[in-house]
Amino acid sequence: MDGRIDVRNLSKSFGTFRAVDDLSFSVEPGRITGFLGPNGAGKTTTLRMVLGLIKPTSGTATIGGTPYTQLTHPISTVGAALEATNFHPGRTGRDHLRVIASAAGLPDSRADELLTLVGIPAAARKRAGGYSMGMRQRLGLAAALMGDPKVLILDEPANGLDPEGIRWLRGFLRHLASEGKTILISSHLLAEVEQTVDDVIIIANGRAVRQGTIDELRGEKRVRVLSPQSDRLARALSDAGLQVRPAEGGGLSVIADETAQIGEIAYRAGVPVHELHSERADLEQLFFQLTENTNRNLGDPAQGFAAPQEGGR
């Protein structure tokens, strides 16, 4: 079982409303993939189909080539945290995990092991009702990791985490990915997961609008340089084999990895430089352009109030 998630032509309609529309993507082992889209884009619905919680209207979702419902050992194959709030408020974190451990045929000791792993050992005896959002997220993560699964699916795991928590989560997920696990995390904020993910799938209105590595999404690295002798500098840079174009707002924009390279060319050409800095695409801006005006929950109220059907959401 290679732990690859494969979604092919997946669609889900609730009545006449098409929440997920002919979606196809793959999620690779050993990488962290961000599943992104504004509120109501269809992320949770897709994840629920991948996890066999709701039936697709058409298309398929498989994990290591097998639909979730046909997995022989689901708990050691896929761990998922879909919502951070579905804990019994009167139950302690330890008891919550023990219930899951016992259902999975694992020893009670797994509960404390997991609480330590996710950094909340002290939460063992505290009732989940009194947990902060960050603690609930970590408890959900601990539950998802119960069977040491190859695949981890987390719905908005950074939601409610403070900057320190986000940094912790980033390191934790990176460690799991380095062990070869497949990690899929959803978010409605690209900026929130930008530094965490290797790959991105961006959806809007239930459809994929962009897929690729985060570096592809950022585009080529550019250096912006401003000189009072722009023409001479442009010539020197072109002579050095670099692609140069006038930058928006003045100066030159050069495809290059390092500012040092540009500084040295300018120095050798005897051209003064007044400004020199690296530039990358503004991902937040790009995300906004790709998904602008697609929050269906804010659009047609008739859609927003569609009667919950299968799955009860």
Ligand X SMILES: Nc1ncnc2c1ncn2[C@@H]1O[C@H](COP(=O)(O)OP(=O)(O)OP(=O)(O)O)[C@@H](O)[C@H]1O
Q: Does 37 bind ligand X (CB under 6 A)?
A: yes
Cα angle 254, 250, 267; round to 5? 50
Q: Residue 53 Cβ, how far from ligand X at the closest point, in Å?
A: 11
Q: Which is nearer to ligand X, 254 or 290 (CB)?
A: 290
Contacts with ligand X, 152-191, as mask; x by CB under 6 A: ------------------------------------x---
Q: Which is nearer to ligand X, 124 or 189 (CB)?
A: 189
Q: Residue 307 Cβ, how far from ligand X at the closest point, in Å?
A: 7
Q: Residue 169 Cβ, how far from ligand X at the closest point, in Å?
A: 18
Q: Does 19 bind ligand X (CB under 6 A)?
A: yes
In the β-sheet with 5-14, what is the strand arrangement from edge to edge?
A: 17-27, 5-14, 58-63
Q: Which is nearer to ligand X, 124 or 208 (CB)?
A: 208
Q: Indicate which single residue of 45, 159, 196, 294 sits in contact with ligand X (rule: CB under 6 A).
A: 45
Q: Residue 187 Cβ, how far from ligand X at the closest point, in Å?
A: 8
Q: Which is nearer to ligand X, 96 or 188 (CB)?
A: 188
Q: Residue 101 Cβ, how far from ligand X at the closest point, in Å?
A: 29
Q: Indicate which single residue of 3, 34, 40, 165 sits in contact with ligand X (rule: CB under 6 A).
A: 40
Q: Does 14 bind ligand X (CB under 6 A)?
A: yes
Contact 49, 20 (CB under 8 A): yes
Q: Residue 37 Cβ, how far from ligand X at the closest point, in Å?
A: 5
Unique residue bearing structure tokens 């084999």: 241
Contact 58, 48 (CB under 8 A): no
Q: Which is nearer to ligand X, 19 or 97 (CB)?
A: 19
Q: Does 36 bind ligand X (CB under 6 A)?
A: no
Contact stretch for ligand X (CB under 6 A) within 12-20, 98-106, 114-122, 278-286: 12-20
Residues 102-131 that bind ligand X (CB under 6 A): none
Contacts with ligand X, 269-298, as mask; x by CB under 6 A: ---------------------------xx-
The DSSP secondary structure of the chain, one letter per residue, reads ----EEEEEEEEEETTEEEEEEEEEEE-TTSEEEEE-STTSSHHHHHHHHTTSS--SEEEEEETTB-GGG-SSHHHHEEEE--S--S-TTSBHHHHHHHHHHHTT--THHHHHHHHHTT-GGGGGSBGGG--HHHHHHHHHHHHTTT--SEEEESSTTTT--HHHHHHHHHHHHHHHHTT-EEEEEES-HHHHTTT-SEEEEEETTEEEEEEEHHHHH-S-EEEEE-TTHHHHHHHHHHTT--EEEPTTSSEEEE-S-HHHHHHHHHHHT---SEEEEE---HHHHHHHHHTT--TTTS-HHHHTPPP-TT--
Q: Residue 133 Cβ, how far from ligand X at the closest point, in Å?
A: 15
Interface residue list for ligand X (CB under 6 A) = 14, 17, 19, 37, 39-45, 188, 296-297, 303, 306, 308-309, 311, 313
